[in-house]
């Protein structure tokens, strides 16, 4: 019996295990599946993954702590990961980070008290030609300006209700869509 | 020498991502020819004869890499490196987004050449949308009998799986990538044995970059001589160049190898934005040493950049304008390598952290005169002493920025502050963000 993972998630992980010559390869896919459902790699989620993967919990923890995309702490419903690497940095990344921090009243690394937004500074997202860039729940938002960020925050707030209970990596609602290059 | 479209067919045929359009344009014809008419060793020979060199950064001859596999083996694997985590690099993304079948056909051809029956495309974790797109394209190809068992009705078949990483630059290093694919932390492996002998799941494995593999269908379709007729003698073919920073048209441009950087900057990217001058640039992503802005006649190929004091790497050009603080830029580069050091070996883990801390202190106005020799001394103790090349990468721009812009470091130290602050675009919100 798993504690937090749904039957669908368990079945999806089982299916992943069958796709590789060695089932251990399914560990990263399994953690993506679990985090998508639970929101982060909580101790319960890790135990569930370990059980389905037939691995010691410590093996799973070791992998979680190595990869930056696996969250070891609780994060908000929208994880705003703003790139701060050099091409973005010389084109205003810190301004965008500062703007979001200001609007949300949190510092990078923090989550709003309502659990809606987390702000993270991350390394190059491979979209330097559309700097400044961020990902929100693994989707790209590019050519950011403070105005665009405000628009996005507004839309996310308005749409948050609709998203309740949905998987994290479900695309943001169409209203928000992708911020296209200017 | 100028722009030339081989890999970027989508510029002429925007719908090329569709299987039917790709096939109408001759797609999967090279695979058909290979599977029907060529022995695996003949495909390898063609790629060898073409002179194709790896586009992932090191420029290793591709056909030679394929021929390093042992004479006899029962199982082998092909791994496509789509980790693309080098700051400044965003070319593989466009190749996959715009023309997924070109890459899938390249993977299948390489797999055929090494008689692999399973190919993996390792995409960085952030490429969720690209994974979905590739999965869909592979499914289409499977329906058409191009992926899976008995391709073109022959005995050989090949599965193609897309594997998603989870945020770790080191997983772009080929042996760390194999560990990651096996479900472990991405730590580089001791070599020898090389992946060609003992790779994924202990079996002979070839790892190639996306752009390298995307070239293979064109070589098989048009022949080695055709490929060699473009580019330079030692760097044949085209190169996708990523250019970012304050230029008028940042983006990816496919150029004939040997084209001078000036052409990329002026003719392709439309020159510097806002009439600013170019202070410095990095030709090959954050791991390649920066060059002064006036080094614009260097040819974009594997030989010319080393001669000029840098490397072409993945041809990821990062441009720094006249009002950019080199120490600030270096700080962001050092932060990157310190964050991305995997922690396996001491010189890289500790050295990359020290370098970051010292550059940070100088940028914040707390630098001391003796800091510059200490920085260089730390790099001396890292180069060639780390477990993998990441350690060397962490030092290259420290050395280059001190070589070319020592006066900027000295000014920071002398004035006990960053003379460029407020940074044009980076401040004044730094404080608010709690970053500075
Ligand atoms: C730290 C580090 C990061 C690397 N990152 C990448 C990468 O993101 N993409 C890539 O293709 N090669 C990367 N490489 C190079 C690979 O190890 C390998 O040489 C390459 O994938 C081989 O393919 P090629 O011969 O087709 O170039 C990296 C190497 C190191 C040391
Ligand atoms: S530096 Fe921000 S996406 Fe590359």
Question: Which ligand sits nearest to residue A144's alpha carbon?
Answer: 2
Residue B330 clears pLDDT 50, i.e. is over it: yes
| Dist CA A80 CA A100 (whole Å) | 9
Place of tokens 């260097």: B298
Identify whether the C-beta of residue B137 lies closer than 8 Å to the C-beta of residue B104. Answer: yes
In the Cβ-directed half-sphere of B107, how many Cα atoms lie within 13 Å? 33
Q: Is the dihedral of CA B233, B235, B238, B243 positive or negative?
A: negative
Chain A interface test: which of B425, B427, B428, B436 (most A C-beta within 10 Å): B425
pLDDT digits (tens, 9 = 90+) for B275-309: 999 999 999 999 999 999 999 999 999 999 999 99
* Count of other CB atoms within 10 angstroms of residue A16: 20
Residue B163 clears pLDDT 50, i.e. is over it: yes
Structure confidence at residue B435 as a pLDDT band (50, 70, 90):
very low
Determine the pLDDT at residue A81. Answer: 97
Indicate where chain B has its CATH 3.10.20.600 domain(s). Answer: 238-321
pLDDT under 70 in chain A at which residues? Answer: 1, 161, 163-182
Identify whether the C-beta of residue B308 lies closer than 8 Å to the C-beta of residue B292. Answer: no
Q: Is A110 on the interface with B (CB under 8 A)?
A: no
Put residue A138 in one of left, alpha, beta given phi > 0 → left and psi -120 to 50 → alpha: left
For B134, residues 6+ apart whose C-beta sits below 8 A from its C-beta are B96, B100, B103, B104, B121, B123, B162
- Within 8 A of A139 by CB-CB distance, chain B residues are 128-129
Determine the pLDDT at residue B429. Answer: 35
- SS3 assignment, position B250: coil
pLDDT digits (tens, 9 = 90+) for B81-119: 999 999 999 999 999 999 999 999 999 999 999 999 999
B298 forms beta bridges with none
Residue B134 clears pLDDT 70, i.e. is over it: yes
Alpha-helix residue ranges (DSSP H) falling in B199-285 = 210-222, 224-228, 261-263
User: In this structure, are strands B159-164 and B205-209 parallel, antiparallel, or unpaired?
Assistant: unpaired
B292 forms beta bridges with B280
| Dist CA B181 CA A26 (whole Å) | 8
Chain B interface test: which of A129, A138, A142, A172 (most B C-beta within 10 Å): A129
Q: Per-residue DSSP letters for A8-37?
A: HHHHHHHHHHTTSSSGGGGHHHHHHHHHHH
Indicate where chain B has its CATH 1.20.1440.230 domain(s). Answer: 326-419
Mutate to test the pocket of ligand 1, among B56, B240, B242 (most ligand atoms within 8 A of CB): B56
Q: Which residue of B has its CA nearest to A100?
A: B433
CATH placement of domain B238-321? 3.10.20.600
| Dist CA A152 CA B85 (whole Å) | 26
Atom of ligand 2 nearest to the CA of B87: 4
Instruction: Give the alpha-carbon dihedral of B38, B79, B228, B312, to 10 degrees.
Output: -170
With CA atoms as reference, report the closest residue to B242 among B291, B285, B183. Answer: B285
Q: How many CB pairs under 8 A join A and B?
A: 179
| Dist CA A59 CA A45 (whole Å) | 14
* Count of other CB atoms within 10 angstroms of residue B367: 24
Determine the pLDDT at residue A159. Answer: 79
Determine the pLDDT at residue A167. Answer: 57
Indicate where chain B has its CATH 3.40.50.11540 domain(s). Answer: 19-225
In the Cβ-directed half-sphere of B33, how many Cα atoms lie within 13 Å? 17
Complex ipTM over 0.90: yes
Determine the pLDDT at residue B421. Answer: 85
Q: Is the dihedral of CA B245, B247, B250, B255 positive or negative?
A: negative
- SS3 assignment, position A66: helix
Residue B426 clears pLDDT 60, i.e. is over it: no
Place of tokens 């100088």: B362
Instruction: For residue B61, count CB atoms less than 10 angstroms from its CB and return exposed for 0-12, middle for 13-18, buried for 19 or more.
Output: middle
Residue B434 clears pLDDT 90, i.e. is over it: no
Tell me how many degrees the CA angle B43-B46-B48 measures, rounded to the nearest 5.
110
pLDDT digits (tens, 9 = 90+) for A142-176: 999 999 999 999 988 887 767 666 655 554 443 33
- SS3 assignment, position B85: coil
- SS3 assignment, position B294: coil
* CATH superfamily for domain B19-225: NADH-ubiquinone oxidoreductase 51kDa subunit (3.40.50.11540)
Residue B159 clears pLDDT 50, i.e. is over it: yes
| Dist CA A59 CA A49 (whole Å) | 11
Tell me how many degrees the CA angle A167-A172-A178 measures, rounded to the nearest 5.
145
CATH architecture, domain B326-419: Up-down Bundle (1.20)
pTM: 0.95
- 3-class DSSP string for B137-158: HHHHHHHCCCCECCHHHCCCCE
Q: Which helix (H) or strand (E) holds B92?
A: helix B91-98
Is A19–B318 a contact, with Cβ atoms under 8 angstroms apart?
no
Structure confidence at residue B424 as a pLDDT band (50, 70, 90):
low
Distance A165 CA to ligand 1 centre (A): 39
Determine the pLDDT at residue B78. Answer: 98
């Amino acid at each position: 019996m798993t504690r937090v993972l749904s039957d669908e998630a368990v079945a999806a992980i089982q299916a992943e295990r069958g796709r590789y010559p060695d089932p251990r390869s399914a560990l990263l896919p399994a953690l993506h599946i679990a985090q998508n459902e639970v929101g982060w790699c909580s101790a319960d989620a890790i135990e569930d993954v370990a059980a389905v993967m037939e691995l010691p919990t410590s093996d799973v923890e070791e992998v979680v702590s190595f990869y930056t995309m696996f969250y070891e702490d609780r994060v908000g419903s929208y994880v705003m990961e703003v790139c701060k690497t050099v091409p973005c940095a010389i084109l205003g990344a810190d301004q965008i980070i500062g703007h979001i921090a200001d609007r949300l009243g949190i510092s990078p690394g923090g989550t709003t008290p309502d659990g809606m937004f987390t702000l993270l500074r991350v390394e190059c997202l491979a979209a330097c030609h559309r700097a400044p860039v961020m990902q929100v729940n693994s989707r790209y938002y590019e050519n950011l300006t403070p105005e665009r960020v405000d628009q996005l925050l507004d839309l996310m707030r308005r749409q948050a209700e609709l998203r309740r209970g949905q998987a994290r990596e479900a695309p943001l609602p169409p209203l928000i869509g992708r911020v296209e290059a200017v | 020498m100028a722009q030339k479209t081989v890999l970027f067919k989508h510029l002429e045929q925007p719908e090329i991502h569709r299987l039917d359009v790709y096939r109408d344009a001759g797609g999967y014809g090279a695979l058909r020819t290979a599977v029907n008419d060529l022995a695996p060793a003949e495909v390898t020979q063609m790629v060898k004869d073409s002179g194709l060199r790896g586009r992932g950064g090191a420029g290793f001859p591709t056909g030679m890499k394929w021929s390093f596999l042992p004479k006899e083996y029962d199982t082998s694997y092909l791994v496509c490196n789509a980790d693309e985590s080098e700051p400044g690099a965003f070319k593989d993304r466009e190749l996959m987004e715009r023309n997924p079948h070109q890459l899938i056909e390249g993977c299948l051809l390489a797999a055929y050449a090494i008689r692999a029956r399973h190919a993996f495309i390792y995409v960085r974790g952030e490429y969720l949308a690209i994974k979905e797109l590739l999965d869909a394209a592979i499914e289409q190809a499977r329906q058409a009998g191009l992926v899976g068992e008995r391709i073109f009705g022959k005995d050989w078949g090949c599965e193609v799986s897309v594997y998603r990483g989870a945020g770790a630059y080191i997983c772009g290093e080929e042996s760390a990538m194999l560990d990651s694919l096996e479900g472990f932390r991405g730590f580089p492996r001791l070599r020898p044995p090389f992946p060609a002998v003992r790779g994924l799941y202990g079996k002979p494995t070839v790892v190639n970059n996306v752009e390298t593999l995307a070239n293979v269908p064109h070589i098989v379709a048009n022949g080695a001589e055709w490929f060699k007729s473009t580019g330079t003698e030692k760097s044949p073919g085209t190169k996708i160049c990523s250019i970012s920073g304050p230029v008028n048209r940042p983006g990816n441009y496919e150029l004939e190898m040997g084209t001078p950087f000036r052409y990329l900057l002026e003719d392709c990217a439309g020159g510097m934005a806002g009439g600013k001058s170019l202070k410095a640039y990095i030709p090959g992503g954050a791991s390649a040493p920066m060059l002064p802005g006036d080094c614009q006649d260097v040819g974009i190929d594997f030989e010319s950049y080393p001669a000029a004091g840098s490397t072409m790497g993945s041809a990821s050009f990062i441009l720094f304008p006249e009002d950019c603080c080199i120490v600030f830029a270096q700080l962001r580069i050092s932060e990157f390598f310190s964050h991305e050091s995997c922690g396996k070996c001491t010189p890289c883990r500790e050295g990359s952290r020290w370098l970051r801390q010292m550059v940070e202190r100088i940028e914040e106005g707390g630098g001391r005169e003796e800091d510059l020799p200490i920085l260089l001394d730390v790099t001396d103790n890292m180069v060639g002493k780390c477990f993998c090349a990441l350690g060397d990468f962490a030092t290259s721009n420290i050395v280059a920025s001190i070589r070319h812009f020592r006066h900027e470091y000295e000014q920071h130290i002398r004035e006990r502050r960053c003379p460029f602050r407020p940074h044009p675009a980076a401040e004044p919100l730094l404080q608010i963000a709690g970053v500075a």
